[in-house]
Structure 1
Amino acid sequence: MKVVAVVLLALASAVHGHYKFPRLIANGATTQDWQYVRKTTNYQSNGPVTDVSSTQLRCYQLAAGSEGAQTMSVAAGATVGFVADASISHPGTLQFYMAKVPAGQTAASFDGSGAVWFKIFSQGPNISPAGLTWPSQGLRDVAVQIPQCLAPGDYLIRIEHIALHSAGSAGGAQFYIACGQLTVTGSGTKTFSGVSIPGAYKATDPGIMINIYYPVPTSYTAPGPAVVKC
């Protein structure tokens, strides 16, 4: 009976709606759709990225360039959030990355290529013998603090929610992604080395290919680099 119950739970989760992240919350206000977020390929379908080797894993952009997205000015140490269209309906890992824009480019012109992405937040499951619970599941908006020590400049900020309800085989994990455009202000001096996206993940990474239902995992390791520290 336990195996049947687990299978039914997985099937029920799989039929829930998908989602996208078209809006930022920053400076005390929620912005308009795609005002500061680059329009994603799933802007109509809400569908995920499943190929970790695809350039779509970077910002899931519908087209090259910013497509008119503006750049939001925020202070280092401020909180910036993304709003999901509907809600984050699937169980999975929530992560945030940033990338410093190279000299001579802007947040609107930079394509995010190269080993530039550093992780500023990672949230895995709560683990118990009864199963895994995921803090982000069911939320409409999620937020992260910009590192207080971050050097001023233009940045991309990337939200990544990895839905794991069908992740028992390679290619089963679903990535819901968006990139916002920021100018960070303040007196910080810190810059961070980063990883390339795609390139940082493999389809068989233990945090990407995992059966989260049965047998109940006793640990979870999120994919990608460690979260940076000031």
Structure 2
Amino acid sequence: MMVTDKKVMCNGGTSADLSAPVKAGGKVKAIWKQWTHAQGPVMVWMYKCAGDFKSCDGSGKKWFKIDEKGMTAPPLSGTAWGTNDVLKNLYWESTIPSSLAAGNYLIRHELLALHQANTPQFYAECAQLQVTGSGSGQPSGDFLATIPGYAPQSDPGITVDTYGSKATTYTPPGPKVWSG
């Protein structure tokens, strides 16, 4: 799959019947029943809806990262990756920025499997959050991205060869994390 494929956004859908409340500064936990890949980043994105969830389609340059973990120690073929944490624990927990403005948001958890050279595998799922709190923060500028297409397919964070590369560092694709 390419980073520009429509399914990269929310695996094909952006609206559901259920949403979950969370206070800005609170934690959100995504749970997987199964995961099999040790090399790759975990990235958590949010998107502020202009109104209700039914009219929120995730389009435009409004996605921002609130969390990520790439590789924390070499080698690239090792297990010091965000996706290895999901492999071991079958969950990922993130904190919603405490200054984030209240409102309806999509939250997107992405696992980017990099175990095959030049064949990235994008696994993304979205959920709906009703963020509460008194914050007024909203990311702008370089923190925002469009999904699909948040990075070029040639981005080194997407095309890295985890078994053939001599690199000792890794940077996840897309913008930097916005923490408020």
TM-score by length of 2: 0.88
TM-superposition CA deviations, 1:124-159 (whole Å, max 9, x none): 112235853214311301110000000000000000
Identity of aligned residues (%): 36
- Residue 95 of structure 1 contacts residue 160 of structure 1 at CA under 8 Å; is this kept in 2? yes
The CA RMSD over aligned residues, in Å, is 1.7
Cα distance between partner residues in 2 of 1:92 and 1:147: 24
Gaps of 5+ in 1: 1-49
TM-score by length of 1: 0.70
More RCO (CA 8 Å, sep 6+): 2
Residue 70 (structure 2) aligns with: 124
**Once structures 1 and 2 are overlaid, which stretch shifts more, 198-207 or 71-80?**
198-207
CA distance in 1, matches of 2:155, 2:108: 20
Residues paired across the two proteins, number: 173
Larger Rg over CA atoms: 1
**Other-structure match for 1:154:** 104
Alignment partner of 1:94 out of 35, 39, 42: 42
The one-letter amino acid of 1:55's match is: K
Q: What's the counterpart of residue 52 of structure 2?
A: 106
* Larger helix fraction of residues: 2
Unaligned runs of 5+ in 2: none
- Change in Cα spacing, 1:198 to 1:81, as seen in structure 2 (3 Å) is same
Query: Which residue is equivalent to 2:175?
Result: 225
Amino acid at match of 1:120: I
Retained in 2: the 8 A contact 1:53–1:199?
Answer: yes
In structure 2, C-alpha distance between the alignment counterparts of 1:157 and 1:130, rounded to whole Å: 28
Is the CA contact (8 Å cut-off) linking 1:117 and 1:195 kept in structure 2? yes
- How many Å separate the matches in 2 of 1:182 and 1:225? 22
SS at 1:128's partner residue? coil
The superposition leaves residues 72-113 of structure 1 with CA deviations (integer Å, 9 ceiling, x where unpaired) of: 1110011001111213534210000000001xx313431100
The ranges of structure 1 where at least 4 consecutive aligned residues each deviate by more than 6 angstroms after the TM superposition are none
Evaluate the alpha carbon distance shift between residue 129 and residue 196 of structure 1 in structure 2; reply closer, same or farther with a 3 A threshold. Answer: closer
